[in-house]
Amino acid sequence: MTGSTNITWHEGNVSRGERAQLLKQTGLTIWFTGLSASGKSTVASALEQHLLHKGLNAYRLDGDNVRFGLNKNLGFSPEDRTENIRRIAEVSKLFADSAAIAITSFISPYRADRDSARQLHADANIPFIEVYADVPVSVAEERDPKGLYKKARAGEIKEFTGVSAPYEAPESPEIHIRTDQKTIAEA
């Protein structure tokens, strides 16, 4: 991928601090990661609803939903997974910069990609909270709401995280939730 040339960042007339003051909230990114069927989208959706009902501006970016549009040209090769997460890191940073609470729900299987997302936010002085929705693969397979584990075990889906592709668990997430041991409300 080649980088764009002859471009200049254009500052607006409203600083991040002024925007936060006017909107009465500071933006941040809450990054849910975990296996397919780990409960990350379920908990992220409940969190989004809770924050909105408290009058906070929050928006959830979901892995499947984003692949219908922004990332519809990406597959599931390691390179495409890295690009998927790079794009979402940039989008979530923009949301957070606008004083929104960006909630992402992506398998994001590679630790290096999540670390890059974290660093992108750190470089912009935007808070980044990693939430690990943790379940054993056996529990995720039992849940399997989309039937993906069954297809992966049958060889119908190649490069499926947790079966035929790796998932690198976070080493020190800010929040670690065992979704097989907590209710949605507890999580």
108 given a catalytic annotation: yes
- The three-state secondary structure class of 41 is helix
How many other CB atoms are there within 10 angstroms of residue 155's CB atom? Answer: 10
Q: Are 70 and 87 in contact (CB under 8 A)?
A: yes
Question: Rounded CA gap, 176 and 187, in Å?
Answer: 9
Q: Are 94 and 88 in contact (CB under 8 A)?
A: no
Reading the block at residue 122, the tokens are 């750190």
Q: Are 96 and 127 in contact (CB under 8 A)?
A: yes
Q: Residue 126: which residues within 8 A CB-CB, separation 6 or more? A: 27, 28, 29, 93, 96, 97
Considering just the CA atoms, what is the radius of gyration of the chain in Å?
17
Catalytic one among 38, 108, 116, 164?
108
Q: Report, as residue numbers or ranges, the catalytic residues.
A: 108
